Amino acid sequence: MSSRPGAVLVATLVAAGLLLRVLDTSTKSPVANLMLNTVYSPFFAVRGWAQEQSTLRSENARLRHLLAEMSFKAQEGDEYAREALRLRSLWDLPFGRDPHIHIGRVVGWDRRGGHEEVIVDRGLSGGIRQYAPAITEDGVAGRVRVVTYNYARVQLLSDPGCRVSVRSTRSGVLGVVRMSGSSLIMDRVSIESDVAPGDTLVTAGIGGIFPAGLLLGFVSDVSKPAASLLADIDVQAAVRLDRLDYLFFLESQADLPPGAPYELETGTHP
Amino acid sequence: MGALSTFLLITAVALAARVWFGDLHLFFGVRVDATLLALTLASIARGARFGTVAGFVLGLVVDAVQPEWLGASAAGYALVGFFSGSFGQTIYVDRTRARAALVIASVVIFDIVFGVLTVGIASSFFSRVLASLGSAVVTGGITALLSRAWQAVMAPQASRADLLADE
């Protein structure tokens, strides 16, 4: 089994162990504390560091989650703020306090057959009538072409069939805005008329659909060919027609303020 | 690996196991004593004298956590180191089963010594015996697994021969 010195050694150490065991705890405590503070200390430090890392990781994950949640809420808040601004600017329109304004959300686009139309999620049930002017806080967007009980199709200014009578706020010159090719133009304006780039165009109120004074756009370019009686006037729409999300609908002509000179709009209604 | 390196290694293993996992209690008092396992395997490799001294010092370090027991684990581990070192030097313990049996015996020896020296501190005699036997079997099983894994990783050829020999 083992040599005699080995047996003596183990006997001695076991005896030493027994002796230590029977000593009073108060005598042993300083030795134990010394060992704890020296031998164990690095291991406790490593464990503490690892636990701290683990805590920090979980805290980091929690904060990231919270940040994502807050970021989403902030975006949501921004969207609400933008919507509030839109509604406020609509409220500031001349007829903004008229309770007969209906709001619809754009839920679809239809560009088939050369048309430029959007579909909104409100129809007759939401108070929207055929030919009702569709506007945004920036100005005129179009008019309702077809309406069903729950949906409405809005013919945009960019639709070739849409025509709107306008007036220059600076000179009072009248004309008709319509699409020509890929550009919005102001038609039926004599070359002798006072129209210049930058002029603001508002609805003239003589078409029977749009009330007078709604911002439609701005003159972006004017050219007067020598061989023609009419000027070529390019118009920049005030509304970004490719970024519509909500549209406001005015009551149709029967509900418009009395006294204004209404005439039938010269548009086509396929 | 020298004696000092071996001692430092098993001390580090024992301390890390104590600090991180405590006594690794599994169920019904059955536990895995990483200190004893490391000591036994090191003693088999290094001999009885190394096992005795290393066991005593390791025992003191382990007992430092609970000063009233100081000396109990030192005596128990010294005996275990002596026992496993002696058998490791005198009998053939390369086989997995022999190593596991030696670890099982070491656990029982330690629990007997520790139990005698800490009478009245822990639970009843019967439950301590059951817990000790359970701990011995579990620790022996772990030894067998470690041994086989070691053979498979470090000496695949020898491992296959050992496995065949074990069969």
Domain B3-166: which CATH number of 1.10.1760, 3.40.1000, 2.40.10, 1.10.8: 1.10.1760
pLDDT of A263 strictly over 50: no
A110-119, B85-94, B117-126, B137-146: range with lowest mean pLDDT: B117-126
**The predicted structure's pLDDT at residue A219:** 96
Domain locations along chain B = 3-166
Closest-approach residue (CA) in chain A for B48: A6
Output the pTM of the full model.
0.50
Crossing angle of helices A25-35 and B48-63, rounded to 10°: 100
**ipTM > 0.85 for the complex:** no
Top-ranked range on mean pLDDT: pick from A5-14, A126-135, B22-31: A126-135
Q: Provide the greatest CA pair distance for chain A.
A: 131
Q: What is the pLDDT of residues A77-88, one digit of tens each?
A: 998 888 788 777
- Domain holding A244, by residue range, is 101-255
Domain co-membership, A166 together with A230: yes
Regarding predicted confidence, which is higher, B128 or A174? A174
Top-ranked range on mean pLDDT: pick from A14-28, A242-256, B85-99: A14-28
Average pLDDT, chain A: 85
A98-107, A157-166, A225-234: range with lowest mean pLDDT: A98-107
pLDDT of A267 strictly over 50: no
E strand or H helix at A218: strand A215-223
Query: What is the phi-psi region of residue A39: left when phi exceeds 0, alpha when psi lies from -120 to 50, beta otherwise?
Result: alpha
Domain co-membership, A141 together with A210: yes
Percentage of chain A modeled with pLDDT above 70: 88
Best probe of the A interface among B52, B84, B106, by most A CBs < 10 A, is B52
pLDDT of B162 strictly over 90: no
**The predicted structure's pLDDT at residue B163:** 52
Tell which of A75, A92, A109 closes a domain: A92
Those of residues 3-62 in A touching chain B at CB distance below 8 A are 3, 5-6, 9-10, 13-14, 16-23, 25, 28-29, 31-33, 35-36, 39-40, 43-44, 46-47
**The predicted structure's pLDDT at residue A195:** 94
Question: Taking CB atoms and an 8 Å limit, are B64 and A14 in contact across chains?
Answer: no
Best probe of the B interface among A3, A12, A20, by most B CBs < 10 A, is A20
Task: Give A14's pLDDT tier (boundaries 50, 70, 90).
Answer: confident
The Cα of B33 is separated from the nearest Cα of chain A by a number of Å equal to 18
Query: How far is the C-alpha of B109 from the C-alpha of A176, rounded, in Å?
Result: 108
Question: Taking CB atoms and an 8 Å limit, are A21 and B78 in contact across chains?
Answer: no
Could you tell me which residues of chain B have a Cβ less than 8 Å from any Cβ in chain A? 11, 15-16, 18-20, 48-49, 52-53, 55-56, 59-61, 63-72, 74-76, 78-79, 82, 85-87, 89-90, 117
Total structural domains within chain A? 2
User: Residue A126, class by beta-carbon neighbours within 10 Å (0-12 exposed, 13-18 middle, 19+ buried)?
Assistant: middle
Query: How far is the C-alpha of A123 from the C-alpha of A146, rounded, in Å?
Result: 9
For residues A159-182, average pLDDT: 92
Tell which of A92, A126, A161 closes a domain: A92
Between strands A163-168 and A152-156, the pairing is unpaired
Task: Give B24's pLDDT tier (boundaries 50, 70, 90).
Answer: low
Question: Taking CB atoms and an 8 Å limit, are B65 and A36 in contact across chains?
Answer: yes
Residue B147 has a CB neighbour count (10 Å cut-off) of 22
Tell which of A92, A110, A140 closes a domain: A92
Top-ranked range on mean pLDDT: pick from A91-100, A230-239, A256-265, B85-94: A230-239
Domain co-membership, A82 together with A123: no
User: Residue A195, class by beta-carbon neighbours within 10 Å (0-12 exposed, 13-18 middle, 19+ buried)?
Assistant: buried
* Helices and strands: H and E segment counts in chain B: 7, 2
Q: What is the pLDDT of residues A214-240, one digit of tens each?
A: 899 999 999 988 888 899 999 999 999
Contacts of B119 in chain A (CB under 8 A): none
